[in-house]
Amino acid sequence: MNAPRRVGVMGGTFDPIHHGHLVAASEVQAWFDLDEVVFVPTGDPWHKADRQVSQAEDRYLMTVIATASNPRFRVSRVDIEREGPTYTIDTLRDLKAQMPDAELYFITGADALADIFTWRDVSELFELAQFVGCTRPGYEMDLSTLSGIAADRVTMVEIPALAISSTDCRLRTSRGEPVWYLVPDGVVQYIAKHHLYIDSPAGAAEQKELL
Ligand SMILES: Nc1ncnc2c1ncn2[C@@H]1O[C@H](COP(=O)(O)OP(=O)(O)OP(=O)(O)O)[C@@H](O)[C@H]1O
Ligand SMILES: O=C(O)c1ccc[n+]([C@@H]2O[C@H](COP(=O)([O-])O)[C@@H](O)[C@H]2O)c1
């Protein structure tokens, strides 16, 4: 009998996708010898309701551009195409329906993992996937706070520390500061071409210079 496919699932708002996301996915792929990592941009990230999130289609296309050079990476539209707020329980059910024999590994940073007990249907989440928490500068995750099934289903992985966040990339862009080398080149160009994260004509002029 063939061994089951091992599939990483990298969920994120990716507004924009940056090298912290890509390094986390690549490290976990290598660590668990995953056959592929599926990036899943959120549709409606209810947990980020305190701010305006860019159009799903822009976040999806930036994710496609950023992952295109890695043959083990692909991007799924399951969260974008589902109506209503995005919950990981639905993401994992949809992916499991598409790949019934796959073992799923849901990849998060330490900050997202620390909040996992606030996520919808948390105990079923641990039945559908193993969870992999990546270290992230500025965030601690103490695995001893997990109990029962969660403790067996969560692994922490130490990855190269990249103090990059989408928040900082948006702020830098809005101030006319460069995001080259924080995000892939194609994403810099997408941001500038589509005038993302700019709220003033002066900022737009700076952005033109970046192209
Ligand atoms: N630099 C990083 N190192 C490790 N993990 C990261 C890093 N940046 C993001 N992640 C993880 O990637 C996933 C998707 O993150 P998300 O798209 O929210 O990016 P973000 O940089 O945290 O965004 P924002 O600043 O807008 O909150 C989350 O699990 C998050 O913890
Ligand atoms: O299912 C939930 O209740 C839930 C709550 C918060 C975050 N998530 C998922 O966690 C992933 C990372 O989220 P974020 O906010 O760091 O981009 C993304 O796939 C979200 O859909 C999921």
Atom of ligand 1 nearest to the CA of 17: 17
ipTM summary value: 0.99
CB distance 107 to 143 below 8 Å: no
What counts of helices (H) and strands (E) characterise the chain? 10, 6
Q: Which helix H or strand E contains 149, and what residues bound it?
A: helix 148-153
- For the chain, which residues make up each domain, given as ranges? 5-163
Distances (CA, A) of 199 to 79, 139, 173, 174, 202: 28, 30, 10, 7, 9
3-state class (DSSP) for residue 71:
coil
Cα angle 63, 68, 73 (rounded to 5 degrees) comes to: 80
Atom of ligand 1 nearest to the CA of 107: 29
Q: What is the pLDDT of residues 14-54, one digit of tens each?
A: 999 999 999 999 999 999 999 999 999 999 888 888 788 99
Q: How far is the CA of 47 from the centre of ligand 2 (A)?
A: 7
Backbone angles phi, psi at 12, to 5 degrees: -175, 160
Which amino acid does the sequence have at 201? P
| CB of 173 closer than 6 angstroms to any ligand 1 atom | no
CA distance linking residue 133 with residue 114, whole number of Å: 9
| Fold of the CATH domain 5-163 | Rossmann fold (3.40.50)
> Is beta strand 73-75 parallel, antiparallel or unpaired with respect to 154-157?
unpaired
Q: Model pTM?
A: 0.95
Q: What is the pLDDT of residues 77-119, one digit of tens each?
A: 999 999 999 999 999 999 999 999 999 999 999 999 888 989 9
Q: Per-residue pLDDT for 140 more than 70?
A: yes
